[in-house]
């Protein structure tokens, strides 16, 4: 592949995945190795066409002594020669790994992404460009196959992840990258740890892939990338189907944590059940790192056990608890439940008018919207995630606060008042969750025990015309 073809392929990749808008401000992650140096060089060549502003980031891992310092100096000089702003941070990956029970590879990855994301926010950079390429993708697919991964693992490395991460080299391979650098006389540095055989990735790169090329398929890298592309497209479609099922299985929780109906979940095909668990974990901790098939199966057993009070812990500080018919997913920190009583945050907020209101203390929100009578569905289930109340019976400003001792309301369908705490006890809501349930009040009168029950005094009747729709917005 000529230099012109290389640049053309990268440009096609950028255009296909719409990686950059005109004038994008891009942080380029550069280790000093051939992949990241080629990435910086080709983006520098393409920057006039897209109007890109490029800055360089380098993380010094503190693992290789003088060699690491040499790499950092090389990248700094390269950025200076090409007149680009250079950012560097020094970390100790070994210490971070031991403190957090991670492998060196995983700890390095966490610290790199944390550094890049924080720097992009601080410098108001739109994109973070990484140097992954076809060989990296093929290696990851093989590694995931060896670990027994499902379709998500076979999907490999996405060309674009989220709003910031882009990988412009995903349609070129290692040989083409090194030929591009050689043709333009661009130097780079070698990381000797890439030769260490104890790392699975290095054994796949140096032994398994060459064997597959020589003995089975010379185009195995291209084949594995095609497999990953197919798996990624199909996985994307499956996820859209699972999202709808997930929304149907999700139920209100007194602590406003993520909760699924165990019954609805168990009625799904087992393949869907597994994806529901993985989606719940991702929603709670933002990733699926270290979550294995064994962990997912343990959660499915908990869902089927029908034993309230049972619980299990997953990697990354996730705890799954069975409360009645609900399966609750919690994020834990420092060995304790993140939102547990008695440290539950106290809050009291005034709502002046309809609109969206975020309860920062709980990480949830509510949305109040005036609606016409025709927008109230027949047989609506007041007191769940959506409720409707008569605004002629309650007026702004309203109050949103925790439950406090002595709070009483008239549960929808009843005549007499009942203590809110007694209401929770009757429904077997755990004590440490109760004070995190918001109350929506008109003066001292409870309108809605949020996510649970509307007050009878504010229900709609035949004459209701001034109606407010209020919805619980889960994090």
Give the span between the Cα atoms of 286 and 307, in whole angstroms: 28
Would you state the structure tokens that stand for residue 405, as one six-digit string? Answer: 């001792």
> Model confidence over 206-227: pLDDT tens digits?
999 999 999 999 999 999 999 9
Residues 274-294 pLDDT 10s: 999 999 999 988 888 878 888
Superfamily covering domain 3-227? HUPs (3.40.50.620)
149-172 confidence digits (pLDDT tens): 888 889 999 999 988 999 999 999
Task: Count CB-CB contacts under 10 A for residue 459.
Answer: 18
Q: Is 369 helix (H, G, I), strand (E, B) or coil?
A: strand
Give the pLDDT band of residue 314 (cuts 50, 70, 90). confident
CATH 3.30.465.60 residue spans of the chain: 250-337
Residue 190's SS3 state is coil
Q: Is 70 exceeded by the pLDDT of residue 273?
A: yes
Mean pLDDT value across residues 115-135: 95
Q: What is the mean predicted confidence (pLDDT) over 370-394?
A: 77
Is pTM beyond 0.85? Reply is no
Q: Residue range 358-366: average pLDDT? A: 74
| Distant-in-sequence contacts of 302-306, Cβ < 8 A, 24+ apart | 302/327, 303/260, 303/262, 303/265, 303/266, 303/273, 303/327, 304/262, 304/266, 306/262
Q: Is the pLDDT of residue 383 over 90?
A: no
Residue 339: band (very low, low, confident or very high) from pLDDT cuts 50, 70, 90: very low
Task: Provide the CATH number for the domain formed by 250-337 in this structure.
Answer: 3.30.465.60
Q: What's the CA gap between 425 and 410, in Å, rounded?
A: 16
- Range(s) of the chain covered by CATH 3.40.50.620: 3-227
Residue 274's φ and ψ, nearest 5 degrees, are -60, -40
Q: What is the pLDDT at residue 287?
A: 83
Does the CA dihedral 437-441-446-452 come out positive or negative? negative
Predicted confidence (pLDDT) at residue 76 exceeds the cutoff of 90? yes
Give the containing element (helix H, strand E) for 387: strand 386-390
Radius of gyration of the chain (CA): 27
Give me the phi and psi of 168, to 5 degrees please.
Answer: -70, -15
Residue corresponding to tokens 């369908």 = 413
N-to-C CA span, the chain: 48
Mean of the per-residue pLDDT values for the chain? 87
Rounded percentage of the chain residues whose pLDDT exceeds 70: 91
């Amino acid at each position: 592949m000529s230099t012109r073809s290389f640049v053309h392929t990268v440009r096609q990749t950028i255009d296909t995945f719409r990686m950059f808008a005109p004038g994008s401000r891009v942080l380029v992650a550069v280790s000093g190795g051939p992949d990241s140096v080629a990435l910086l060089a080709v983006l520098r060549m393409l920057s006039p066409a897209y109007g890109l502003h490029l800055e360089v980031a380098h993380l010094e891992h503190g693992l290789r002594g003088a060699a690491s310092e040499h790499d950092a100096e090389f990248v700094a000089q390269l950025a200076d020669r090409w007149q680009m702003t250079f950012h560097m941070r020094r970390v100790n990956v070994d210490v971070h790994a031991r403190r957090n029970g991670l492998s060196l590879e995983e700890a390095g990855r966490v610290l790199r992404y944390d550094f890049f994301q924080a720097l992009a926010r601080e410098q108001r950079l739109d994109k973070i460009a990484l140097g992954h390429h076809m060989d990296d993708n093929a290696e990851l697919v093989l590694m995931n196959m060896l670990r027994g991964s499902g379709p998500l693992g076979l999907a490999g490395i996405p060309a674009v992840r989220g709003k910031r991460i882009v990988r412009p080299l995903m349609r070129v391979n290692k040989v083409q990258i090194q030929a591009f650098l050689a043709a333009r006389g661009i130097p780079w540095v070698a990381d000797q740890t890439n030769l260490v055989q104890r790392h699975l990735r290095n054994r796949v790169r140096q032994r398994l892939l060459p064997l597959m090329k020589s003995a089975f398929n010379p185009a195995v890298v291209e084949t594995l990338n095609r497999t990953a592309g197919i798996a990624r497209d199909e996985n994307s479609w499956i996820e859209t189907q699972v999202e709808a099922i997930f929304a149907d299985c999700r139920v209100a929780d007194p602590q406003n944590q993520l909760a699924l109906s165990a019954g609805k979940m168990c009625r799904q095909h087992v393949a869907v059940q597994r994806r529901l668990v993985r989606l719940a974990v991702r929603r709670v901790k933002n990733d699926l790192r270290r979550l294995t098939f064994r962990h997912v199966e343990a959660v499915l057993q908990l869902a089927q056990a029908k034993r309230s009070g049972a619980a299990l812990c997953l990697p990354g500080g996730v705890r799954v608890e069975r409360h009645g018919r609900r399966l609750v997913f919690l994020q834990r920190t420092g060995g304790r439940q993140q939102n547990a009583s008695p440290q539950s945050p106290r809050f009291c907020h005034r709502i002046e008018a309809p609109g969206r209101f975020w309860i920062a203390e709980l990480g949830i929100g509510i949305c109040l919207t005036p609606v016409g009578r025709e927008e109230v569905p027949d047989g609506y289930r007041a007191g769940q995630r959506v409720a409707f109340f008569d605004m002629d019976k309650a007026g702004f400003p309203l109050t949103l606060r925790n439950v406090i001792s002595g709070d009483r309301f008239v549960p929808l369908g009843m005549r007499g008042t009942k203590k809110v705490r007694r209401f929770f006890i009757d429904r077997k809501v755990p004590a440490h969750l109760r004070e995190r349930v918001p109350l929506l009040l008109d003066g001292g009168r409870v309108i809605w025990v949020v996510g649970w029950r509307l007050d009878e005094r504010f229900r709609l009747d035949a004459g209701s015309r001034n109606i407010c729709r209020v919805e619980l917005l889960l994090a």
